[in-house]
Amino acid sequence: MILGAFSPSSYLRSRENYFEGYGIKASTKHCIEVILGFPALSHLANFGYHLMRLPFTKMNGAGNDFILIDNRKQSWKLSTSQIARLCDRHAGIGADGLMLLEPPLSDEAQWSWQFYNSDGSAAEMCGNGARCFAAFAKGLSPAESVSFDTLAGVIRAEFLGEEVCVDLTPPGPMTMHQHLLVDGKSIVVHSVNTGVPHAVVEVEELASVDVMKLGSLIRYHADFAPKGTNVNFVQKIAPERIRVRTYERGVEGETLACGTGVSACALVMASLHGMPSPIGVEVKSGDKLKVSFETHELGYARLRLTGPAVVAFTGEVELD
């Protein structure tokens, strides 16, 4: 039997739900609960296939969207291929990444996360994902603040009305004014790790940048081998405001927003132009984020990212 012969279908059922546990409004008053699966699933058991139904919540932070799974009992072990399929926008739910909420790994945190890019690869940190994860955790266990273990360290978050503010891990050393030969041209790139590595290119007109082409070339540039880097293009649009577009490693394309990316851009622009904290950021989705930080002689500290975290819908998906 060829499983690929079955095409995904969906069952949509509207229901009104304010998601009071999350302390934030859903993206619409009437949320959609989605159950994804395959036709004639009841017949698959006759062939020895046993399917599991996985509950999930779909959220987005400034357009960066994620699948969140309650794994407090640690009963879900997802393979790389399963994660990639769930994140696939044609064959699955569709998302830039997937997170499992699990018990803490340290005494400093209330929870821990397992974070995966849409290709199924693990990632250390994600700023927009962290805000969604914090709101998801609040929905499971109401609190004024949340802390959780990540591969980048312990992340702390607090809730400011319908927005979430996360304390990012301390940024790594900045490398300024790197001259890279890209597609036969010399490009000035600045680099900093804000939980994951980021390259930043300042441009005069963001709308004219070929983010897919140039972003891919820099992402795989030999100077960032072997793991590569995320790539951000930033334009200063006001004394305290910037606009950013990001090519994300692991997604391998442009996303509507990247929290650690806009944070990297804010620090680079503060270094280049003396822009003060906080810095307002406009992202491709049209949403606005805020990056704040403290300036010291040796660099930057207390890096914080504030913005929305919105529930889109909840549902269940059947895994084979």
The catalytic residue positions are 126, 258
Q: How far is CA 270 from each of CA 179, 273, 291, 302, 304, rounded to the nearest angstrom?
A: 20, 5, 11, 14, 14
- In the block, tokens 């992340």 appear at 155
Residue 159 structure tokens: 């809730």
Tell me, rounded to whole angstroms, the distance of Cα 103 from its chain centroid: 21
Q: Count Cα neighbours of 219 within 13 Å in the Cβ-side half-sphere.
A: 20
The three-state (H, E, C) secondary structure of 143-165, written as one string: CCEEEEEECCEEEEEEEECCEEE
What's the CA gap between 80 and 95, in Å, rounded? 14
CB 211 within 8 A of CB 217: no
Tell me, rounded to whole angstroms, the distance of Cα 84 from its chain centroid: 15
- Residue of 271, 278, 284, 289 whose CA lies nearest to 244: 284
